[in-house]
Homo-oligomer: A and B are copies of this chain.
Amino acid sequence: MVFTDQQDTFKLLKNGNIASAKGFQAGGLHCGLRKKKIDLGWVYSDVPAQAAGVYTTNVFQAAPLKVTQESIAKENQLQGIIVNSAIANACTGEQGLQDAYDMRKQFAETVGIEEHMAAVASTGLIGELLPMDRLQKGISQINHEEHLGAGKFETAILTTDTKEKGIAIELEIDGQTVTIGGAAKGSGMIHPNMATMLSFVTTDANIASAALHDTLKSITNKSFNMITVDGDTSTNDMVLVLANGKAGNQPLTAQHPQWNDFYQALQFVCEYLAKEIARDGEGATRLVEVQVDGAFTDESATAIAKSIISSNLVKTAIHGADANWGRIITAIGYSGQALDPDKVSVYLGEILVVENGVPAPFNEEQAKEYLLEDEVKIIAKLGDANGKATAWGCDLSYEYVRINASYRT
C-alpha cells in the first residue's frame, strides 16, 4: 500500500480498526450459519452516535436494509450494529422482515440500548430464511468477553472474501484527537451504486447527522460507487457511519476551519476500504485503477471510467498481462459519452499505448511486466475538457468462474 501526501493531515494507525475510535467496541462469534468461520458480528458505541447510511439501489432491497433505515429515520442516531454473513435475508418476504426485526430487538436488549438505536445487516445467499434459533443463541452470547475484538468482527462479515478489511486513521481537530475507523466486506456482486458490500465506519468526531449524511453520500460516490468486480449490484449493499462525538471537537460543519481535513480523512478511509474490496474481488489477482481526465464533465469521466473498469475483455486482458489497449479504446467508445476519438490517449501506468486515437509504439515486454504488478493503472486522457474520475476494479480470472459456478453448492 502506498500512501500519498494526504498523510500530511492525518496519520494511519498501525493495526487500526473499527473499534479504534473512542467509545467503540466490536466483536464476533460463530453461531452456526457457516460451518466453522465466525458468522455473527456487532459494533457498539457506549454513547448514542450520530448516524448516516447509504443503501443499494436494487429494487429487491433486503429486509435488514429496511429495518436499518427505519432505525436511523427515528432520531438519526445509532448505538449498535448487528451483522450476519452466510445468508442475505433478501427475497424472504414477510417472514424475512420479521426475522430482521427480531434480530434487531434481541440485539438491542442484549447490549442494553433502545431498539431504534440498532442497525441490522446481512450478507450471503439470497432467498433463504435465517435459521433464527441459531442466530438467537448467538446473539445471546454477545456480552461474553471472549468474543470481543475488531478482528473477530472483520472476520464475521466476510463471505467469499479472502481477507479481513479494516483501517483507522487519526487527525487533530480543534486540538483534539479524532479517530476514524472502518471495516468492510466484498467480494462478488460488486458494482457501482453500492457494491455487494457492507461497510461500516466509526468515528469519535463530533458532527451533526445532516452533515454526516451529506458527507457520506458525496464520498460514497467517489469511493464505494466507483468500484466494480463483476457488474452485479446486490440487494444488500449498505454503508453506515457512526459518529459518537467523544473526541470533543467543535461540531463539524462545512464552516468549520478544518472541515476539509475531516472530509479528506473520511474519504481516505472510504477509498481505502473500497480499494481493498476491489483488490479482494472474487478470483482477483490484482487491483486495477482507471483514471480518466479531460472529459467534458466529471459525470462523463465517471461513466467512461466505469465502462473501462467493467469490461470483461479489459479485465481478462489484464489477467493475462496482455497490453491489449484496443479493448480499452473500445470500452471508452461504447460508454455512451460524447468525446472526440481523435484526441484520446491511453497510458498503462507510464507507458503511452495510444496517442490521439492511434497506436503509439511501445515496448511489449515492458508493458507485460507492468501489467504483472499488484496494482495496475489505466489512464485515459480525453483532451476535451476538464472532467475527471477514478474507478477501481480487478482482473477477471478462472478463479472467478470457479467460485461463481458453484457458489451455492
List the interface of chain A (C-beta within 8 A of B): 56-61, 88, 90-93, 125-128, 188-189, 191, 193, 230-235, 310-313, 316-317, 319-320, 322, 324-327, 329-334, 339, 341, 354, 357-359, 396-398, 400-409
Q: Which of B128, B232, B320, B409 contacts A322 (CB 8 A)?
A: B409
The 9 residue pairs across chains A and B that have the minimum distance between CB atoms:
A126-B326, A320-B405, A316-B404, A60-B333, A233-B334, A58-B333, A93-B358, A59-B333, A230-B312
Q: Are A319 and B405 in contact (CB under 8 A)?
A: yes
Query: Can you pick out 9 interface pairs between chain A and chain B where the beta carbons lie within 8 Å of each other?
Result: A60-B332, A91-B354, A91-B358, A93-B358, A127-B325, A127-B354, A232-B327, A322-B409, A396-B401
User: Smallest distance from the beta carbon of A310 to chain B beta carbons, Å?
Assistant: 7
Chain B residues near A326: list those with CB within 8 A: 88, 90-91, 125-127, 235
Please, which residue of chain B has its CB at the minimum distance from the CB of A235?
A: B330
| A320→B232 CA distance, assembly (Å) | 18
Whether A60 touches B329, Cβ cut-off 8 Å, given contacts A313-B189, A401-B401, is: yes
Chain B residues near A325: list those with CB within 8 A: 126-127
Whether A407 touches B312, Cβ cut-off 8 Å, given contacts A60-B332, A127-B329, is: no
Q: Which of B57, B126, B313 contacts A232 (CB 8 A)?
A: B313
Whether A339 touches B59, Cβ cut-off 8 Å, given contacts A125-B326, A359-B127, A401-B396, is: yes
Q: Are B316 and A405 in contact (CB under 8 A)?
A: yes
Chain B residues near A60: list those with CB within 8 A: 329-330, 332-333, 341, 357
Q: Are A316 and B400 in contact (CB under 8 A)?
A: yes
Q: Are A322 and B93 in contact (CB under 8 A)?
A: no
| A230→B313 CA distance, assembly (Å) | 7
Please, which residue of chain B has its CB at the minimum distance from the CB of A57?
A: B334
Chain B residues near A396: list those with CB within 8 A: 401
Q: Are A327 and B126 in contact (CB under 8 A)?
A: yes
Please, which residue of chain B has its CB at the minimum distance from the CB of A231?
A: B312
